[in-house]
A and B are shown apart, each in its own frame.
Chain A
Amino acid sequence: MAKTLEEINQKIKSGKVVVVTAEEMVDIVAEKGAKRAAREIDVVTTGTFGAMCSSGLMMNLGHSRPRIKLGGGQVRLNRVPAYAGLAAADIYLGATALPDEDPRNALFPGEFSYGGGHVIQDLVSGKRVLLEASAYGTNCYPRQDLSTWITLKEINEAYLFNPRNGYQNYNVAVNRSPSTLYTYMGTLQPKIGCANYSSAGQLSPLLNDPHYRTIGIGTRVFLGGGIGYVVWQGTQHSPAAKRSKHGVPLFGAGTLAVIGDLKQMFPKWLRGASFRGYGTTLMLGFGIPIPMLNEDIAATTGLSDKDLKAPVVDYSEAYPQRRPDFIRHVTYAQLKSGHITVEGKKVPTTPLSSYSLAREVAETLKQWIKKKKFQLTSPTAPIPGADSGMAMGPMPYHPPVEKRRARRKPRKTARKRS
């Protein structure tokens, strides 16, 4: 018997709703079967906590006296540059932005101690942040320089707008080369000395709704400890990726663009992060409740780490050279056991995303729903599914004419590479 979303929301209102986390759902489906689970369970909550580089903060700072036109000018927050190509008082700060003064990888591997993600963490923690701006001055916006402290409370708007969060499945990174690599997948020990994975597996939002049957545009979510919404498919959304017999992608596939008011979020769930040799980012707690509308949906939320697989990719060659090859697939159960076998070698695994905090996200959502604080939504419009054929493509490469000629006629004396 299928349930409707309205019925589930009614149950939330009356306090009769049955909510479990995706982790708990695994045993329930194994024990009772998907049909009975769909009948008895109303909502399954998911969660993830990890570095999500495509995250950022949209802000409206209000207008100074005299007015300054930040749009087209330059804006820095605690020395970190924000994007100012919008209207006079609107700016966008990306998680990976770095101060001009940061030495980056000049002394390799760089530390990347402070960047956009850290500014977002400072703001949500209630700390004051130094705003420095310069502008060209106009008749209506005469001011050219500005330097002032701002706080989250005082600015008009501050909402996260993350163009890509919640990747549906992801690579397991290894390093076949003889030297250590410093990547966005963490430090990779040489000669396949470690295997770093990043998905929460059975708790991960999109792995629990692999066909985007309940998650779409308008879906209400847990974002940074507050409430957010899915606003679009994320950038690089690739639903056409190869799938397992359960219909779950075997590679990185779907993604989500999300939005949420920073003013109702909590510092526990938003952490500025520094990846050695790579850069800064934002570690973020994110989760989605899935309504148990029918047996099929219950069945996929019941999939366990044993049923979910990720590809092992070499980050010394295949990844940087954008080659499609991968070494093998492993299950999340194997990854979470602490060791996997790669090319005959027993390799220790490193999670990268926090499974314990992912569990806490799912648990928090569960409590919100039980306490009638959170109602489920049905999507206003779906996001493209597997049958859309939509897949991420490479960067188009059309070098300017001069360069193309230069390539045809190679220099006679080969330049030595230092």
Chain B
Amino acid sequence: MKVAHKVVLHFPPAVVEQPVIYILSRDYNLAFNILKATISQQEEGIIVLELSGEDKDFKRASKYLKKQGIRLQPLLQDIRKNEDKCVHCGLCIAVCPTDALLAERPSMKVNFNADHCVVCGECVPTCPVRAMELHF
């Protein structure tokens, strides 16, 4: 059975150097389409990509990734910031693995940049006033 999954891969700093995506394609016959790639504040590598291929290959590939210490997270839908609710406390900044949430200086207002968001969902339960909303 053919499948296509949008996923987020989180690479610990030690494996950032390895040609993981190449291996996924060579050894697991998965076609890939990279949507976003970035290095987080914690120096974790993050790649958002679409993987397509046979279901069993995808499952084998998931195991391989896990073994490498790479966290595989399914891409959720869409994250939006409700500006009416946001109090610009910045709590979300600490959990955002990319630069999607940053405090603007000198205003100290917290800006959401959807282009950098990998929809990991971390900010949603972290925001104390639930201003970060997940839309399906």
Contacts and interface: CB of A to CB of B under 8 A. Distances in A.
B15 to A, nearest CB: 17
Interface stretch (B16-24, B52-60, B65-73, B123-131): B123-131
B135 interface: no
A283 B87 contact: yes
Given A186-B126, A273-B128, A276-B126, A352 B95 contact: no
Contacts of A272: 129
Nearest to A121: B129
A51 B128 CA distance: 9
B109 to A, nearest CB: 5
B130 A356 contact: no
Nearest to A277: B125
A109 B89 CA distance: 20
A351 B128 contact: no
Given A336-B108, A350-B93, A357 B88 contact: yes
A218 interface: no
Interface string B99-113: 000010101110000
B89 A352 contact: yes
B91 A352 contact: yes
A348 interface: yes
B105 A338 contact: yes
Given A356-B107, A357-B88, A187 B94 contact: yes
A50 to B, nearest CB: 7
B88 A188 contact: no
Contact of B108 (A186, A194, A196, A355): A355
B94 A275 contact: no
A140 to B, nearest CB: 43
B121 interface: no
Interface string A187-213: 111000110100000000000000000
Interface string A352-396: 111111010000000000000000000000000000000000000
A348 B93 contact: yes
Interface residues of B, number: 20
Contacts of B109: 356
Contacts of A189: 42, 94-95
B94 A274 contact: no
A356 B88 contact: yes
Contact of B91 (A187, A348, A356): A187
B88 A352 contact: no
A351 B125 contact: no
A357 B103 CA distance: 13
Given A271-B129, A274-B128, A348-B41, A354 B105 contact: no
A275 B88 contact: no
Contacts of A283: 87, 89, 128-129
A356 B108 contact: yes
Contacts of A281: 128
A307 interface: no
A111 interface: yes
A92 interface: no
Contact of B94 (A49, A350, A354, A356): A350
B125 to A, nearest CB: 5
Interface of A: 49-51, 109, 111, 113, 186-189, 193-194, 196, 271-276, 281, 283, 336-338, 348, 350-357, 359
Instruction: Enumerate the 9 nearest inter-chain pairs by beta-carbon distance, A residue then B residue, closest first.
Output: A273-B128, A355-B108, A351-B90, A350-B94, A194-B94, A354-B88, A186-B91, A356-B88, A193-B42
5 contacts: A51-B128, A194-B41, A271-B129, A274-B128, A276-B126
